[in-house]
Amino acid sequence: MAKKQESVTPGQRLGYAADYQQGAGTYERDGLLYASVVGQRYIDPAKDDQLPVMRVSREKEQSAVPEVGSVITGKVIRVSPHQAVIAIMVVGDIPCKEDFMGVIRTQDVRAAEKDKVKIYNSFRPGDIIKAEVISLGDARSYILSTAKNELGVIFATSVAGATMVPISWQEMQCPKTKAIELRKCAKPTV
């Protein structure tokens, strides 16, 4: 079993290359082994006339962090007359390990006719949406926008519990009841 030794940083000297085999997360220079990543130093025991293996392993992977211009996928948590609160689940193609919150204001729902936007006619709690981060906002939430054609609701369930189908850029239909509900739909990517 590998023996965990200490936390190390890139460039930190780990030992002599003559005493260890070079493992993952290390590099050799001038007869010495160095760490190439931040993580924990491990020494795997020697096997069959070989030297022990020195390696550095990251404790946890880096999480995705939203930044201005990135496209996120999130879930609508609640709606009010002036904004929708979004739990950010994915940034780009990378799932978030931490909880991030975002807000879509009425003026950021669509590019045209901003004064006619009603949040409840664009999003409902439980909808899954694609949005773009337009500002870092405050300490609690990012400012998001769905003002592009490819942004908006990508998944919604009807009152009957069925997955709704988009029939226009602002309407989705329940396949069971044929009821039409208003949403700001994302343009499907082909």
CATH number for position 120: 2.40.50.140
Provide the pLDDT for residue 2: 61
19 with 87, same domain?
no
Identify the band that residue 178 occupies on the pLDDT scale cut at 50, 70 and 90: very high
Whether the pLDDT of residue 12 is over 60: the answer is: yes
Query: Is 35 found in the same domain as 85?
Result: no
Q: Which two tokens stand for residue 62?
A: 């880096």
My answer on whether 75 and 49 are in the same domain is: no
Contact of 119 with 183, CB cutoff 8 Å = no
Please check whether residues 41 and 113 belong to one and the same domain: no
- The DSSP 8-state label assigned to residue 120 in this structure reads G
DSSP 8-state symbol, 124: -
| Whether residue 77 sits in one domain with residue 7 | no
Closest CA to 71 of 102, 106, 39: 102
Question: Does 65 fall in a domain?
Answer: no
Give mean pLDDT, residues 129-158: 92
In a domain, 16, yes or no: yes
Given a cut of 70, whether residue 114 has pLDDT beyond it is yes
Same domain for 90 and 153: yes
Instruction: Identify the domain containing residue 15 by its residue range.
Output: 3-57
Residue 92 in any domain: the answer is yes
- Considering the domain boundaries, does residue 139 fall inside one? yes
What average pLDDT score do residues 20-38 get? 90
pLDDT at 62: 61
CA distances to 108, 177, 183 from 187, in Å: 17, 23, 12
- Looking up tokens 């001038």 gives 30
Task: Report phi then psi at 115, rounded to 5.
Answer: -75, -15
Shared domain for 92 and 129, answered yes or no, is yes
CATH of the domain at 40: 2.40.50.100
Report the mean per-residue pLDDT for the chain.
89
**Per the domain annotation, does 23 fall within a domain?**
yes
Check whether residue 90 and residue 143 sit in a common domain.
yes
Is there a contact between 23 and 3 (Cβ–Cβ < 8 Å)?
no
Average pLDDT over residues 62-76: 87
Confidence of residue 59 (pLDDT cuts 50, 70, 90): low
- In this structure, the answer to whether residues 102 and 33 fall within a common structural domain is no
The confidence band for 159, taking pLDDT boundaries of 50, 70 and 90, is confident
User: 92 and 159 share a domain?
Assistant: yes
* Same domain for 48 and 80: no
Structural domains counted in the chain = 2
Looking at the predicted structure, is the pLDDT value of residue 35 above 60? yes
18 within domain boundaries: yes
